[in-house]
Structure 1
Amino acid sequence: MRRQLDINPKAFGNILNGSKEFELRLYDRETWDLQLGDEIVFTDFADRSRRLVVRVEGLLRYPTFRALFSDLDYGRCGPADSLEKKMAGIYQYYTPAQEDAAGVVAIKMRLLERL
């Protein structure tokens, strides 16, 4: 299956340059049915002409981002100086209430192409 998701410009660039191995999302209606082998077309929400395709190679579900980072090095999810800075960046997009209600997923991905 192929699906479309928007992504912020920094994360888009980090996927392209290889510094982001996992995409972090809420485990919600956009992600609950993802399967290994699915393709995701990410569109840069600041420049909708920038798109790339990744293949889902792994799915890690956790109740919270902090629980996820107890098993997964936060640096594999894009550059950050510290865990606290990574958490602050995540909370620019998601609230703790959303996180608690839905849970989270780390999507391991492999870049296939830039469109």
Structure 2
Amino acid sequence: MRRQLDINPKAFGNILNGSKEFELRLYDRETWDLQLGDEIVFTDFADRSRRLVVRVEGLLRYPTFRALFSDLEYGRCGPADSLERKMAGIYQYYTPAQEEAAGVVAIKMRLLEQL
């Protein structure tokens, strides 16, 4: 299956340059039915003409981002100089209440193409 998701410009660039191996999302209506082998078309929400396609190669579910980072090194999810800065960046997009209600998923991905 192929689905469309928006992504911030920095994360878009980090996928393209290979420094982001995992995309982190809430485990919600956009992600709950993802399966291995699915394709995701990410659109840069600041420049909608920029799109790329990745293949889902792994799915890791956790109750919270902090629990996720107890198993997964935060640098594999895009550049960050500390766990606290990574968490602060995540909380720019999601609230702790959303995180607690939905849980989280780390999507291991492989870049297929830039559209």
Structure-1-length-normalised TM-score: 1.00
User: Cα offset for 1:26?
Assistant: 0.0
Name the structure 2 match of 1:103. Answer: 103
**5+ unaligned residues in a row in structure 1: which ranges?**
none
User: Cα offset for 1:90?
Assistant: 0.1
Q: Distance in 1 between matches of 2:18 and 2:67?
A: 24
**5+ unaligned residues in a row in structure 2: which ranges?**
none
How many residue pairs get matched?
A: 115
Q: Distance in 2 between matches of 1:52 and 1:96?
A: 29
Deviations 1:28-73 (CA, angstroms, capped at 9, x unpaired): 0000000000000000000000000000000000000000000000
Q: Distance in 2 between matches of 1:23 and 1:107?
A: 5
Q: Distance in 2 between matches of 1:53 and 1:80?
A: 23
Q: Distance in 1 between matches of 2:46 and 2:24?
A: 19
User: Cα offset for 1:81?
Assistant: 0.5
Q: Which runs of 4+ in 1 moved over 4 A?
A: none
Q: CA RMSD in A?
A: 0.1
Q: Distance in 1 between matches of 2:104 and 2:74?
A: 14
SS in 2 for 1:112: strand
User: Cα offset for 1:12?
Assistant: 0.0
SS in 1 for 2:71: coil
Q: Distance in 2 between matches of 1:72 and 1:3?
A: 25
Deviations 1:3-27 (CA, angstroms, capped at 9, x unpaired): 0000000000000000000000000
Q: Distance in 2 between matches of 1:18 and 1:96?
A: 28
SS in 1 for 2:113: strand
